[in-house]
Structure 1
Amino acid sequence: MIATMVYKLTKDATPEQLIENGLGDHYANHDKALFYQNASGVPWTATYIQAKGDPIADLYEDIAAEEKARATYQWLIDMTDDVDLQDGLKFLREREVIHSLRFREAVEILKEERDRKKFF
């Protein structure tokens, strides 16, 4: 969704405007196509996905990822005065909060199950 927001904000920009605003390298490589990268220009890679194989450890990784995304959305909200863009970002930020809460609930359920004696 963020890449789509960036696309909508830049779709009518001229190459000169993109260059003036620090997007010349991106334009030279990708035109106005969506290309997933961080703010420093490092492309997205599957190595960003962390998995241990233990459900509780993996859920804690998920919680951390949701909280990092929440913080990023807040910083983006703080960087713009475009109300429509802020509304979309606020929706995404709140979605991360809910995801984090659900993952935390799942951790507690798994901990209860892990500690419960099982009789067969």
Structure 2
Amino acid sequence: MCGTEELGHLEMVGTIVHQLTRNLTESDVREGGFAPYFIDHTTSVYPTAASGSPWSADGIAVTGDTIADLTEDLAAEQKARLTYDNILRMSDDPDVTDAIRFLRAREIVHFQRFGEGLRLAKDRMNEKNVYYMNPSFDK
């Protein structure tokens, strides 16, 4: 999948976070449990998991194996969809829920496309230039 679109998702989520935090007062920060984040980042968007773990490229699993990588992509799309489902369960802000519903729909489409790609890769495993293993290692 195109990294540009994935960065677009991040930009949309970052914009939502910015809109929700741009007018915070000191008491909002303290009462909302936002103080530790605020101390480090003020209200800047810093990509972390809901648990507070910062984003890391360690979560990107690329093996060079077509089947393994497409299967990983399928799982990632489902995990993103689930995250959006959970946000929708927690949010009552229509501006947030509308944007999250859009992003959730994109994850579903991505999942479908990766599924099609996996099916096509499996169907063509015996064709020239389509492989399920890295031919430079597995001769």
TM-score range, shorter chain: over 0.9
Q: Which residue of 2 aligns with 1:54?
A: 65
Among candidates 90, 109, 113, match of residue 120 of structure 2:
109
Superposition pairs of residues 62-101 of structure 1, within 5 angstroms? 62-101=73-112
Q: Which residue of 2 aligns with 1:30?
A: 41
TM-score scaled by structure 1? 0.92
**Cα-Cα RMSD:** 1.4
Percent identity reads 41
The CA deviation at 1:117 is: 7.7
Deviations 1:37-66 (A, max 9, x none): 001111000001011110111011011000
* Structure 2 unmatched ranges of 5 or more: 1-11, 130-139
* Structure 1 unmatched ranges of 5 or more: none
Distance in 1 of aligned mates of 2:67 and 2:93: 39
TM-score scaled by structure 2? 0.80
Runs of 4+ in structure 1 deviating by more than 4 angstroms, as ranges, are none
Say which SS state the counterpart of residue 57 (structure 1) adopts.
helix
Asked if structure 2 preserves the Cα contact closer than 8 Å seen for 1:66 and 1:99, the reply is: yes
Amino acid at match of 1:68: K
- How many residues align structurally? 118
Assess, with a 3 A threshold, how the Cα gap between structure 1 residues 38 and 117 changes in structure 2: closer, same or farther. Answer: closer
Amino acid at match of 2:56: T
Among candidates 16, 24, 35, match of residue 13 of structure 1:
24
Distance in 2 of aligned mates of 1:83 and 1:117: 50
The CA deviation at 1:15 is: 2.5
The CA deviation at 1:116 is: 4.4
Distance in 2 of aligned mates of 1:117 and 1:70: 35
Moved more, 37-46 or 9-18: 9-18
More relative contact order in 1 or in 2 (CA 8 Å, sep 6+)?
2
